[in-house]
C-alpha cells in the first residue's frame, strides 16, 4: 500500500500541492485527473521522490520516503516502481533491446546474459516481437509507447506510474494505450497510478478516481460515484471534457 498524508509541495511563489492525503490500495488502478497545470505530474513525481515535498508523508510499504535524504533508501524504494514518462523518454542512440534492458542493468543483479530473454518476454507482453534491433526513430508513436512500457515493467515493479499516457495521441493510439494499461494490471497484478487530463480514460479504466483542484483532492471515488458528483469543480470539468469530445 501507498499512503500519502498531508503532502505539501511548493514552487517559487506558488503552492502546487496543498495538504493531499490518500491511500492507494494493493492491486487497484488509481487515477488522478484535472486540467493541465493543476499539479498532477508534480504529485506523481513526489510519489517516487523525483521531487522532494516541503512536508507530509509518503509511506511505501511501511517506509516513509518524503523527508529522507538517504540515496540508498530512495534507490531501494524506487526499485518497486515502474514509470511511464509522458513523452516515453526512450534513448534515441540505443536499440529497443538496450532501451528495455536499461533498468535491468542499473536496478537489478540479473546477469547480462539473461537480458535478451527478459526483453523479448516484456515486449511480447505489450504486443511486440522482432523489434529488438530497431532504434526509436524507426518506430511508430504507438510502438514507442509499447517499448517504453516494456522498459517500465522489465524489472517487475510492484507499482506502475503513468504520467499523462495519452497526451498528444490520436484516438486509435489512445485506445491502444488504454488497453495496455488495463492489460498490465490484469496480467501482472500490479498497482497502477495514472495522472491524466483525459476524464474518459480515467472513468473507463480506474477502480477509483481523484480530482486535483487548487492543490487538493476535491473528490475521490469510483467512476460511478464520480459521474454522480455534485462538486462544482468536478461538474465543470466533466462538462468541459464532454464538450471537447463533440
pLDDT tens string, the chain, 246 residues long: the values are 899 999 999 999 899 999 999 999 999 999 999 888 888 989 999 999 999 999 999 999 888 999 888 888 888 888 889 888 876 689 999 999 999 999 888 778 889 999 999 999 999 988 899 999 999 999 988 888 889 889 988 888 899 999 888 877 788 878 888 888 888 888 888 899 999 988 889 999 999 999 999 999 999 999 999 889 999 988 888 887 765 554
**Rounded CA separation 237/218 (Å):** 12
Exposed e or buried b per residue across 37-64, where buried means at least 16 C-beta atoms within 10 angstroms of its C-beta: ebbbbbbbbbbbbebebeebebebeeee
Put simply, whether the predicted model's pTM sits higher than 0.85 gets the answer: yes
* pLDDT the model gives residue 176: 82
- Reported CATH class of domain 1-80+195-246: alpha beta
H or E segment and range at residue 206: none
* pLDDT the model gives residue 36: 80
Report strand pairing: 191-196 vs 29-33.
parallel
Closest Cα partner for 152 from 114, 113, 112, 194?
Answer: 194
**Rounded CA separation 234/238 (Å):** 6
* pLDDT the model gives residue 242: 63
Helices (H), the chain: 40-47, 71-78, 96-100, 102-107, 115-125, 141-153, 171-188, 199-205, 223-227, 232-244
Amino acid at each position: 500500500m501507498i499512503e500519502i498524508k498531508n503532502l505539501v509541495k511548493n514552487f517559487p511563489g506558488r503552492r502546487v500541492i496543498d495538504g493531499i492525503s490518500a491511500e492507494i490500495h494493493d492491486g487497484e488502478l488509481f487515477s488522478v485527473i484535472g486540467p493541465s497545470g493543476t499539479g498532477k505530474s508534480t504529485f506523481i513525481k513526489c510519489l517516487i521522490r523525483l521531487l522532494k515535498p516541503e512536508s507530509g508523508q509518503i509511506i511505501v510499504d511501511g517506509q516513509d520516503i518524503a523527508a529522507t535524504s538517504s540515496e540508498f533508501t530512495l534507490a531501494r524504494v524506487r526499485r518497486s516502481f515502474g514509470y511511464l514518462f509522458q513523452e516515453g523518454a526512450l534513448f534515441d542512440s540505443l536499440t529497443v533491446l538496450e532501451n528495455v534492458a536499461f533498468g535491468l542493468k542499473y536496478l537489478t543483479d540479473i546477469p547480462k546474459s539473461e537480458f535478451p530473454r527478459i526483453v523479448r518476454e516484456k515486449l511480447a507482453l505489450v504486443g511486440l516481437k522482432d523489434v529488438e534491433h530497431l532504434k526509436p526513430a524507426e518506430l511508430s508513436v504507438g510502438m514507442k509507447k509499447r517499448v517504453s512500457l516494456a522498459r517500465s515493467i522489465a524489472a517487475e515493479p510492484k507499482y506502475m506510474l503513468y504520467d499523462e499516457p495519452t497526451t498528444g495521441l490520436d484516438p486509435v493510439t489512445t485506445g491502444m494505450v488504454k488497453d495496455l494499461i488495463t492489460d498490465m494490471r490484469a496480467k501482472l497484478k500490479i498497482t497502477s497510478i495514472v495522472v491524466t487530463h483525459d476524464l474518459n480514460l480515467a472513468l473507463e479504466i480506474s477502480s477509483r478516481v481523484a480530482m486535483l483542484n487548487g492543490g487538493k483532492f476535491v473528490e475521490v471515488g469510483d467512476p460511478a460515484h464520480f459521474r454522480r458528483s455534485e462538486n462544482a469543480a468536478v461538474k465543470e470539468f466533466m462538462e468541459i471534457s464532454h464538450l471537447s469530445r463533440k
